[in-house]
Amino acid sequence: MPEIKKENPKGIHHIPVSKLKPDMHKENMRGLRHVHVAELKPGMYVVDAGITWASRPYLYMKEGLVATEEQARRIADEGYLEAYIDPARSTRDFEVTPFKETFNLERAGEPYLFKPRVPLAEEVSAAAEVHDDTVGYVRNFMDDIRTGKLDMSPAFDFMGKIMESMERNVNAMLSLCRLRRVDSYTYMHCVNVSVFTSMFARYQGMSEKEVLSLGLSGLFHDLGKALIPAQILNAPRKLSPQERLIMNSHPTLGYEQIKDIQGIIPEVPLGMLHHHEKYNGGGYPSSLSGDAISKTGYIIALADVYDALTSRRVYKDGMTPHQALGIMYEEMLGKDLHPELLNKFIKMLGVYPIGSVVEMSDGSWGVVSGCNVNAPIRPVVTLIRDAKGHALPETEVDLSAADARLSIKRCVPAETADIKPAQVLHLPPGVPGHD
Ligand SMILES: [Fe+2]
C-alpha cells in the first residue's frame, strides 16, 4: 500500500485537521428519549444529541418541534431510523417505546469513508489512464454487440483498477467523472455510472462481490442502446410515440444479451433491466414500483440521473453537482428515486462534490478539493481568490475542522466565477479548464 507523501509538491499550505469532536455530549443526554422514527408524533421536540453522523448514519438530528404527521412520516421516508426527543421541550407527554437495535441488512456494513492514501495530484494521472482505457473498452463492446459478440472478461480487470484508484484517492476518479470531456458522451457516461455505483456499494460496506456486480451493471447498463437504430438513438428532435417505444426497449435489449452468460451474477442483468423503472411506478419497461425493483436498478438510476444532469453536452452546460443533487432531492425523492438510497447517495457525494466552485462566508472563492463523507456540508476547499478578487496562494482549508472559521455561502457554475476547477485540482490536460 502506498505511503502518504509528507512533502507537498504543489506548494499547497495545509491547515491541520483538528481532533474529531467527542461522540456524545453526555451531559446533554440526561432526560432525552431515544426512539425509533416510527414513534415520532406531532408535538415531540427532536434534539441534536451531538452524536457524529459517522457513528450513527441513520440518526435524525435536525433540532425542532415535529409539527405534523406528514413531517414525521417524511423523516421516516428519508431513510432515518432513530431520533432523540426532549420531553421537557415537547408540547405534551408521550408514551414511547425505547429504541431497540434490530437487525437491518442496510446496517450490516459501516459506511466506508474513503480516506485518501495518496495526494490527489499524485493519483490523477493513474486515474485518468484507467478512466480513458475503460471508455475505450465501452466503445469496443458497444460496437461488438451489433455483430453479436461480447467479451465481458476485460470488464473485471477495469473494475478492479477503478476500485484500486478509488482506494488510493477517490477524489481523483470523481473529479475526472465530473470534469473530463471526451468526444462521446455515451461511452464516458457508462464509465461514470459504473464509478458511482461501485463507489456507492463500497461506501455502504457491501461485499466485494456486490461492489463488482454493481460496477459491472453500471458499466453495461446502456448496452441495449447499441442495438437501437442510429436514426432513433441520435434523433435531434422529439421522438414519435412509436420511436419512443423502440428507444424504451433498450433496458430489455441489454438484459437479453447478458442474462444467459454462464457465471453471470444475476444482479448485473437485473440492474440493467430495471434502471429506468421508477420508485412510484410509471417507469419502463415494466412500470414496476417499490420493492419489485431491484436495489441494483435503483442505484444505477441514481448514478444515471446524477451524471446526466451534471454532464456538459453540446446543447447544454452541465448543472453544478450541488444543483443536480438539489433537483434529485426536491423533485425525485420518493417519486422516481428510492428515498433511502437517494439520501445515502447524497451523503456519499457530499452536498458540494469535488470540483464545485464555491464562494465562502468571507467573500473569498475556492474549489472543493476534498469531501468529508461524515460532514457533507463541510468539505475541503482550496482557496484561490480573496473577496476583492486578488489571487491567493493556493490554500487548502478543511471546513470540518473544529477551528474552521469559514463556511460555504454558495456554489456557482465555474464559468460564472471565471474559475477553472481542473487547473486548481491539477488535473491532466484534456480536462476542460486547461484552455
Ligand atoms: Fe438507459
Is the confidence at residue 123, as pLDDT, over 80?
Answer: yes
How far is the centre of ligand 1, averaged over its atoms, from the C-alpha of 186 (Å)? 10
Q: What is the pLDDT of residues 154-197, one digit of tens each?
A: 999 999 999 999 999 998 998 888 776 656 788 999 999 999 99
- 242 Cα to the center of ligand 1, angstroms: 18
Q: What is the CA(188)–ligand 1 centre distance, in A?
A: 13
* Residue 390 neighbours by CB distance under 10 Å: 8
Report pLDDT digits (tens) over 191-228.
999 999 999 999 888 888 889 999 999 999 999 999 99
Q: What is the mean pLDDT of residues 344-356?
A: 83
Helix (H), strand (E) at residue 65: strand 64-65
Q: Residue 38: what residue type?
A: A
Q: For residues 138-159, give the mean pLDDT.
A: 93
pTM for the full predicted model: 0.70
Nearest partner of 269 among 212, 209, 193, 213, judged by Cα: 213
Cα 284 to middle of ligand 1, angstroms? 10
Distance 374 CA to ligand 1 centre (A): 31
The length of the chain in residues reads 435
DSSP assignment of 109-120 equals SPPP----SS-H
CA of 255 to the centre of ligand 1 (A): 12
Residues near 335 by Cβ (< 8 Å), separated by ≥ 6?
Answer: 278, 279, 280
Rounded distance from Cα 407 to ligand 1 centre (Å):
37
Percent of the chain residues topping a pLDDT of 70: 82
Tell me, in angstroms, the distance from the centre of ligand 1 to residue 100's CA. Answer: 41
Task: Provide the b/e sequence for 253-269 (b: ≥16 CB within 10 Å).
Answer: bbbbbbeeeeeebebbb
Q: For 15-53, how does the pLDDT look when each residue is reduced to its tens digit (9 = 90+)?
A: 232 222 333 334 446 688 888 877 888 999 998 877 655
CB 372 within 8 A of CB 378: yes
Domains defined for the chain, CATH in brackets = 1-19+352-435 (no CATH), 31-107 (no CATH), 120-349 (1.10.3210.10)
51 vs 74, higher pLDDT: 74
Grid cell of 38 as nine digits: 416510527
Q: Which residues make Cβ contacts (< 8 Å) with residue 100, sequence separation at least 6?
A: 36
pLDDT tier at 373, thresholds 50, 70, 90: low
Contacts of 205 (CB under 8 A, 6+ apart): 108, 109, 110, 111, 112
In contact, 194 and 215? CB cutoff 8 Å: yes
Residue 2 pLDDT exceeds 80: no
At 45, list the grid cell.
Answer: 421536540
Give the Å distance between the CA of 220 and the centre of ligand 1.
10
